[in-house]
Structure 1
Amino acid sequence: MQHETASEGSLAGVTVLEIGVFMAGPFATMQLADLGARVIKVENPAAPDPTRSTGPFLEGSDSSRHSSPFARLNRNKESVALDLKSEAGREAFLRLVAGADVLVENLRPGAMRRLGLGPDELAELNPGLVYASASGFGQDGPLAALPGLDIMAQARSGLMSITGSPDGDPVKVGVPICDLVCGLYTALAVTAALHHRDQPHGDGRGQQIDVSLLESGVSLAVWEAGKYFATGEVGRPLGSAHQAQAPYQAVRCADGWVTVGAITPKTWNGLCAALDLPHLHADPRYADSDGRHAHHAELVTEIEKATTALAAADVVAALDLAGVPCAPINDYGQVFTDPHLSRRDFFWDAEHPDAGPVRQLGSPMRLSATPARRGGAGPALGADSRAVLGEVGYTDAEMDALLGTMAP
């Protein structure tokens, strides 16, 4: 299927079908769409992506409401409304599959197979199709059939066991990190599979991709694995402190907090000089990073004797001047108006046909020749059904019968 876009990208010419709900699948395809792929989001007209009903909402011109999170997570995509449980909807979907390069789905394992749309069935129709499945716990194994939301993956992966303060209640990472990383891994695996398919040794054939929230979360335990597999020690919550080096954490100031990372000889020397701490620099317990980490509680207490007498901005200014890595802890009101991000044009407005401009988070992937695409906000349900189905041979009469009252 050919599709013209206002801005070509690295994946221009690649067509992706998404059967995605909530976060992991749609976040994966958002990355692919940002990179230029055509992403067609297929939703059940009677039970669309639940994110559509997640607030807060943007007010449309006709008093309609549009999910603000959906408008960002599903930017640069098209929407086709099909009931895959109906014979007519399934047939229409198969026509789309025949011309697609990629399918990304994040339904419960087995759901697609029960619809007759599993990877083996679709490979017979389209041998070049890359079939990517994102799920809570993977496509097989004892946990595969369980519902897997981000917080369950954070719990089982160990992330919640090391997040928070040492004596506090269990805390999850503030963003749905397992969902998001699973989406990133899925997008990366898709690009790798496409590359392999299009090489001579790939023989033009696609493959299956299985990415789980659980394994995505466990893959992040680099320091914890280094500790456990070397010594048997199990990681515990450390607040903002680093697992192996010091000082590398948030320290208290007179009016807030500042993060510091003085873990090399140069930056440690700089911190001691900037905060006028010659006695710490001379203390043999703090001569190297291992020693500082072994005594980090005492060390931070001493550092805070200096920082609590100063405003956070003054601490940052002094440490910046000394070349010591540091940063204030910003809230999102500060982040979304940050001068540095604004200067780099990170935030941008995507046009929504009913709600107007919708502010977007930029793509962190900055490519000099094929920059990330900046197209439309998340589409209305079924907004592109007629255009897309017309491309695969449906007549107006056939689309009337298939779509009924769902077509916009």
Structure 2
Amino acid sequence: MGKPLEGIKVVEVAMWAFVPACGGMLADLGADVIKIEPPTGDPLRGLQIGNMNSGSGRNIDYSWESYNRGKRSITLDLKQAAGREVLMKLLEDADVFLTNLLLPARRSMQIDAEAIRARFPKIIYAVGSALGPNGPEMEKGGYDSITFWARGGIASSLTDEGADHPVSPPGPAFGDTLSGSMLTGAICAAIAKRAMTGEPSEVDVSLLGTAMWSMQRYICQATADGVDKFPKPPADKPNNVLVGAYRTADDRFVSLCMLQADKYWAPLMHVAGRPDLADDPRFVNAKARREHGDACYAEVKAMFASRTIAEWREILRQQDGQWDVVQNVGELKDDVQAQANGYVKHVDYGDGTTIPMVGVPMLFDKQAMTSTRSPELGAHSDAILESLGYDEDAIIDLKVQGVVF
């Protein structure tokens, strides 16, 4: 099966996670993604966050592997004219120029949108920005923890009133990967537009914009109501006791999302062995359950605490209400649906071993996309230069000049 973006060439001048994650997704979808790195490499290479590799027995940077999968790497010093000349040769038959360098840096290197599209009018110029291409802070940089998570309203919406610190992101590059997925979608739309109309686009997706898209329900309501934030409802006073998480006997959690509570209340109580709660006049419908909220919540909480997570799995499968288990990240590799759909796979690492990788969540004709590992720094420099017409002496000269590593 061919991949949907086979034949598309992407030249990436980017670092860290947001835009490289987009490039990695495009590579998984079949595009030829050539990553241009400075001679010192993308600073994400080898970045250690905490002590993430302890216990694994292998010193593998999974951030690097995840966001740079399937690419080819060439090192170029774009501050030098000779480096920019190589870039221009790469762009001659490219479909997409992908970058997250700040606008002042792009201008100084003469690789801003105006300069690139003046020379290559059919190219799609795609930018992952912090705050968007317009406005007084358009040239400001950002990271997902500050621009997406903090400025985008997510941290404050998750944080309890009076907390010492706002809630932190659940993992590295959380906002980066979501924003990178948005940028991938925008690029694919621009490719389709150019194919249908012949018109190229200048594309921008920002960390702030993606955060606001994710938080749109609250943002719209707050704007309409003229409030700054909505109080976080206390977990022990749910409006609907069939929406929320409950602790089990073995200190795990079951998460319920039975929005049509009257439809599911009685069937759930019967399969759980509590027909008395189904028939209790205090809990017979949503109005009654709200009026006796404390008592109802206490009963349901105690009911779930009486059995283990394994027991609840079997019980809840017997009814039609929506539920799931709160899983740990280490359990996802064993999730039967993750396995069946190729969401977790093992990729050849090139040394006789494999590494785990999460697949792009896009299946075509029910088939998951294959992946290959990320490139070593400058692994394809010579081959790419040769394909552009540089002979051995010219390549050596570029290396002597420090243009190519």
State if a TM-score over 0.5 links the two structures: yes
Structure 1 residue 255, shift from structure 2 partner: 1.5
Partner of 2:128: 134
Which one of 211, 219, 227 corresponds to residue 213 of structure 2? 219
Letter in 2 for 1:237: K
1:395 aligns with 2:391: yes
Per-residue CA distance 1:134-183 (angstroms, 9 max, x = gap): 12112332333333111112111110011145554410330333212211
**1:106-125 paired onto structure 2 within 5 Å:** 106-125=100-119
Letter in 1 for 2:334: T
> Given the two structures, how large is their TM-score scaled by the length of structure 2?
0.86
Structure 1 residue 74, shift from structure 2 partner: 1.1
| 3-state SS, counterpart of residue 210 of structure 2 | helix
**1:261-272 paired onto structure 2 within 5 Å:** 261-264=257-260, 265-272=262-269
Per-residue CA distance 1:335-391 (angstroms, 9 max, x = gap): 12334423444322222335742221122111018x554242000011111111222
Task: Give, in whole Å, the separation in 1 of the partners of 2:236 and 2:28.
Answer: 35
Task: Give, in whole Å, the separation in 2 of the partners of 1:142 and 1:164.
Answer: 29
| 3-state SS, counterpart of residue 360 of structure 1 | strand
> Given the two structures, how large is their TM-score scaled by the length of structure 1?
0.86
| Unaligned runs of at least 5 residues, structure 2 | none
Partner of 1:40: 34
Which one of 305, 325, 349 corresponds to residue 346 of structure 2? 349
Structure 1 residue 269, shift from structure 2 partner: 3.2
1:287 aligns with 2:285: yes
Which one of 115, 138, 150 corresponds to residue 144 of structure 2? 150
Letter in 1 for 2:106: M
Partner of 1:13: 7
1:160 aligns with 2:155: yes
CA contact (8 A) 2:212 2:219 kept: no
Partner of 1:254: 249
CA contact (8 A) 2:362 2:369 kept: no
Structure 1 residue 84, shift from structure 2 partner: 0.5
Do the aligned partners of residues 183 and 307 (structure 1) sit closer, same or farther apart at CA in structure 2, a change above 3 Å counting?
A: same
Task: Give, in whole Å, the separation in 1 of the partners of 2:123 and 2:271.
Answer: 58
Letter in 2 for 1:36: G
CA contact (8 A) 1:246 1:263 kept: no
CA contact (8 A) 2:237 2:294 kept: no
Moved more, 142-151 or 93-102: 142-151
Task: Give, in whole Å, the separation in 1 of the partners of 2:360 and 2:187.
Answer: 18
Task: Give, in whole Å, the separation in 2 of the partners of 1:309 and 1:280.
Answer: 18
What is the identity percentage for the equivalent residue pairs of Structure 1 and Structure 2?
25
1:50 aligns with 2:40: no
Task: Give, in whole Å, the separation in 1 of the partners of 2:291 and 2:117.
Answer: 56
**1:167-178 paired onto structure 2 within 5 Å:** 168=163, 169-175=165-171, 176-178=173-175
**1:374-385 paired onto structure 2 within 5 Å:** 374-385=370-381
Do the aligned partners of residues 283 and 235 (structure 1) sit closer, same or farther apart at CA in structure 2, a change above 3 Å counting?
A: farther
Do the aligned partners of residues 318 and 70 (structure 1) sit closer, same or farther apart at CA in structure 2, a change above 3 Å counting?
A: same
Task: Give, in whole Å, the separation in 2 of the partners of 1:394 and 1:25.
Answer: 29
Do the aligned partners of residues 357 and 53 (structure 1) sit closer, same or farther apart at CA in structure 2, a change above 3 Å counting?
A: same
| 3-state SS, counterpart of residue 25 of structure 1 | helix
Task: Give, in whole Å, the separation in 1 of the partners of 2:279 and 2:219.
Answer: 32
Q: CA RMSD in A?
A: 3.0
CA contact (8 A) 1:165 1:237 kept: yes
Do the aligned partners of residues 65 and 251 (structure 1) sit closer, same or farther apart at CA in structure 2, a change above 3 Å counting?
A: closer
Per-residue CA distance 1:56-82 (angstroms, 9 max, x = gap): 569xxxxx9653321222111110110
Do the aligned partners of residues 296 and 162 (structure 1) sit closer, same or farther apart at CA in structure 2, a change above 3 Å counting?
A: farther
Moved more, 339-348 or 305-314: 339-348
**1:353-368 paired onto structure 2 within 5 Å:** 353-354=350-351, 356-368=353-365
Task: Give, in whole Å, the separation in 2 of the partners of 1:212 and 1:292.
Answer: 44
Which one of 323, 326, 332 corresponds to residue 326 of structure 1? 323
Task: Give, in whole Å, the separation in 1 of the partners of 2:237 and 2:180.
Answer: 26
CA contact (8 A) 1:177 1:217 kept: no
Letter in 2 for 1:188: G
Letter in 1 for 2:66: R
Structure 1 residue 229, shift from structure 2 partner: 4.4
Per-residue CA distance 1:197-239 (angstroms, 9 max, x = gap): 111xx2x232111111011101111431353245445323357
Partner of 1:237: 232
CA contact (8 A) 1:40 1:80 kept: yes
Structure 1 residue 241, shift from structure 2 partner: 9.2
